Amino acid sequence: MWDGGAPVTYNNYHVAGFAGRMCDVVGGDMVEFTKTIKDPLGLHARPVALLYDIIAKHRSNVSVSIGERHTDGRDVMGLMALYGECGEDIVFRVSGVDEASCVTSIRNLSL
């Protein structure tokens, strides 16, 4: 069992996680891309719900950042707490077995 120390590599996969939480197994590659918020109301409840639904349908790990604010894409309250305003850039980092599909779905989402 992983104790929260340094990540471990097993069969070309990186095993990572946090103490007290089940470990995540992710592929060695990660896709990072940026979207600009175009909605005049910013990142409010409706686009957050749509984004969350997309992320929840995929197995990949998604990290979402706006400036110095970061959250896990599976944390709907964390996504709301990013307080994204119109014109701000959102950075997505996606890794996992279905990252290509996840990235395509997020890129097609109007924010």
pLDDT in tens, the chain (111 residues): 334 444 444 434 444 443 333 334 444 589 999 999 999 999 999 999 999 999 999 999 999 999 999 999 999 999 999 999 999 999 999 999 999 999 999 999 998
CATH number of 29-108: 3.30.1340.10
Query: Whole-prediction pTM value?
Result: 0.73
Query: What residue spans define the domains of the chain?
Result: 29-108
Q: Which residues of 21-57 are buried (b: 16+ CB within 10 A; e: fewer)?
A: eeeeebeeeebeeebebeeeebbeeebbeebbebbee
